[in-house]
């Protein structure tokens, strides 16, 4: 018998909603199969998900439960979250979540004292993060920063995560038979908190480019571009290659 995940939620007299789940086998990321919902025993609802990808589902559902408990949403709105995305969408959602964490951690590692952050992520044979910042009107690589504590933090805590990121992200894409990511470019603007990403897939011709070429040209193009781009532009800067 395959894994069956059962999600239950109960409406209390005060209008709040409690939710919990159990599985007949261990908790894991599964493949999409089907979703079935039904009602039983009055106000208690059982949502049966057979073989669904659960990460995105739980994130949406528990966020809605929180909104209900804060009286920001009606209990009836829980039903709107009872859907699952395709395996490809789930794999992409995982990447988006990880990408956001990478760029946010890059800013935090610099003590939030930079205007913009940029990260080139390589996920090929030798995964790596190349991080640089806009600070005081110019671009600097992470190892050119003045604060030794910041540099040590980036080198010892952030950069070593690249292999595990590549393994998790491209492992998920491989499971759904989707091309993996060769390179990804990320950028973050501190004033507006806007962040942007660009992907070069393994099956794209640009995936053949050397990392050094991409980094050198992207850094050069951005160095000229930031001279005319306000710090609160709320728009992406260029990529290389476009």
CATH number at residue 146: 3.30.500.20
Quote the pLDDT of residue 199.
95
Q: What's the total number of domains in the chain?
A: 2
Quote the pLDDT of residue 192.
93
> Looking at the domain assignment, is residue 110 inside a domain?
yes
105 and 210 part of one domain: yes
Interatomic CA distance for residues 236 and 196, integer angstroms: 6
107 and 11 part of one domain: no
79 and 97 part of one domain: no
Domain that holds residue 68: 4-84
> Looking at the domain assignment, is residue 239 inside a domain?
no
> Looking at the domain assignment, is residue 155 inside a domain?
yes
71 and 139 part of one domain: no
14 and 39 part of one domain: yes
> Looking at the domain assignment, is residue 238 inside a domain?
no
- Alpha-carbon separation of residue 124 from 34, 164, 180, 208 (angstroms): 34, 12, 9, 10
Quote the pLDDT of residue 92.
86
13 and 26 part of one domain: yes
52 and 70 part of one domain: yes
> Looking at the domain assignment, is residue 61 inside a domain?
yes
Which residue from 31, 39, 34 is spatially nearest to 49, judged by alpha carbons? 34
148 and 40 part of one domain: no
Quote the pLDDT of residue 30.
26
> Looking at the domain assignment, is residue 97 inside a domain?
yes
Q: pTM of the prediction?
A: 0.68
37 and 143 part of one domain: no
54 and 94 part of one domain: no
Quote the pLDDT of residue 68.
74
146 and 30 part of one domain: no
Q: In terms of DSSP bridges, do strands 4-11 and 128-135 run parallel, antiparallel, or are they unpaired? A: unpaired
Interatomic CA distance for residues 231 and 5, integer angstroms: 47
> Looking at the domain assignment, is residue 242 inside a domain?
no
Positions in the chain short of pLDDT 50: 1-12, 15-55
> Looking at the domain assignment, is residue 17 inside a domain?
yes
């Amino acid at each position: 018998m395959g894994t069956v995940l059962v999600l239950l939620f109960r409406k209390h007299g005060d209008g709040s909603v409690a939710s919990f789940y159990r599985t007949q086998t261990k908790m894991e990321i599964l493949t999409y199969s089907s979703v079935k919902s039904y009602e039983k025993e009055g106000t208690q609802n059982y949502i049966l998900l057979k073989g669904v990808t659960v990460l995105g589902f739980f994130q949406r559902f528990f966020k809605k439960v929180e909104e209900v408990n804060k009286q920001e949403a009606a209990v009836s709105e829980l039903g709107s979250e009872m859907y699952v995305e395709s395996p490809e969408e789930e794999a992409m959602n995982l990447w988006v979540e990880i990408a956001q964490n990478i760029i946010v951690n890059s800013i935090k590692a610099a003590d939030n004292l930079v205007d913009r952050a940029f990260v080139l992520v390589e996920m090929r044979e030798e995964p790596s993060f190349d991080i640089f910042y806009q600070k005081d009107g110019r671009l600097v690589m992470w190892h050119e920063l003045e604060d030794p504590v910041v540099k040590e933090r980036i080198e010892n805590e952030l950069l070593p995560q690249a292999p595990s990121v590549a393994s998790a992200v491209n492992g998920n894409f491989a499971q759904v038979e989707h091309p993996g990511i060769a390179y990804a470019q990320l950028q973050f603007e501190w004033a507006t908190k806007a962040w942007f990403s660009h992907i070069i897939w393994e099956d794209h011709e640009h995936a053949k480019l050397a990392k050094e070429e991409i980094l050198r040209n992207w850094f050069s193009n951005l160095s000229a571009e930031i001279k005319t781009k306000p710090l609160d532009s709320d728009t992406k800067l260029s990529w290389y290659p476009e």
